[in-house]
Structure 1
Amino acid sequence: MPVLRRLARPLLASAFVTSGVQTLQHPEAVAPMAERVALAIADHVPGLPHDAVALVRVNGAVHVGAGVLLALGAFPRLAALALAGSLVPTTLAGHAYWQEDDPAKRMQQRIHFFKNLSMLGGLLIAAADTAGRPSLGYRAKQAVPAR
C-alpha cells in the first residue's frame, strides 16, 4: 500500500498543478466563466477581493501550492482538503453542463463535471488517509482517561 500511496498522490496532484499554472499565467481566460461563482463566494468570505481575475489567481495559486504539497507528500491530508474545497466552486463555475443549449457542448461539460466529481472523491479519500496511523480523534479518545 505505501508504494501505491506514493504513486497515487502525485498522479492526483498533477492535474491541479498543471491547471493551476495555466490559470496563474492566463487568469483573464477563465475569469468571465468563473465570475458568477467567484463573486458570490467573495460576498460571503471576508477579506477576499471582489474581482474575478484576482479570485481566479487565488484559486490557481491554491491548486499549484496544495498540488505540490500533495505530490510531495507534505501535509497530504491538509493539501487534499484544500484542493477539494477549491474544486467545488471550480466545477460549478467551469462545468455547469445544465446551462448549455448545444448538445455537443453539454455532453463535453457533463464529462468534465463528472471527471471533477471523481477527482473530488479521490481527494476526499486522500484527506481521510492516515497512512495506517490512528486518527487524531482516536488518539484524543485514548489520551483521555475513561470515567
Structure 2
Amino acid sequence: MTTAATAAPGALSSLGAATALTRFVPAIGRLLMGTIFLASGLSKLTAPAATLSYIQSAGIPLPQVALAAAVLVEIGGSLLLIAGYRARLVALALALFSVATALAFHTAFADQNQLIHFLKNLAMAGGLLQVVAFRAGGLSLDARAGRA
C-alpha cells in the first residue's frame, strides 16, 4: 500500500490529482446536469398555463397530472442528484424522463430546434447513465452513507 510517506517523488501530485478527480469532478458533473432540470422545473412553476398548453399540444393525457409529475421529477430529481443522494436511482429516473420527453415532445426533426432538443435530451440521458454506472463520487450524501 502506498502512503504519502512511502510514495515515490512525483507520486504525491498524481495522488492529489486522482483524489480531485474522484471527489470534485463527479460533484461538478452532478451540479451541471442537475441545473438544467432545476431550471426547467422552476420555469414550469412560473408559467404553468404555457406548460399545460404545450403538454396538451403534444396529446399527453391528463395534462395537469403530467405537469405535476414533471415538476416533481425535475425539481426533486435535480436537488437529489446535486446532493448525491441515492444518485444512481435518481440518475436512472432522470435519464428515463429525458428519453421519454425527447420522444414525446421533440420528434419534429424537420424543425432544427426540435432536433437539437431531442439530441440534448439523449446526451443528458447519456451523462446520467454515467452516474448510474460509476456512482455519485466522493462529495455526495451517498459517499457519507457508504454507498459511493
- Determine if the TM-score, normalized by the shorter chain, exceeds 0.5: yes
Q: Does 1:69 align with 2:85?
A: no
Question: How many Å apart are 1:127 and its aligned residue?
Answer: 1.4
Where structure 1 has 5 or more consecutive residues not aligned to the other structure, the ranges are: 40-50, 101-105, 133-147
Where structure 2 has 5 or more consecutive residues not aligned to the other structure, the ranges are: 1-20, 138-148
Q: Does 1:15 align with 2:72?
A: no
Relative contact order: is structure 1 or structure 2 higher (C-alpha 8 Å, sep ≥ 6)? Answer: 2
Match runs of 1:64-143 below 5 Å: 64-98=75-109, 106-130=111-135
Cα gap change, 1:91 to 1:28, in 2 (>3 Å) = farther
How many residues align? The count is 115
For residue 60 of structure 2, what is the aligned residue in structure 1?
A: 38
Larger Rg: 2
TM-score by length of 2: 0.69
Q: Which protein has the bigger helix share?
A: 1
Contact 1:20 1:63 in 2 (8 A): yes
TM-score by length of 1: 0.69
Q: Percent identity?
A: 35
Contact 1:34 1:93 in 2 (8 A): no
Question: How many Å apart are 1:58 and its aligned residue?
Answer: 1.2
Distance 2:45 2:123 in 1: 24
SS at match of 1:74: coil
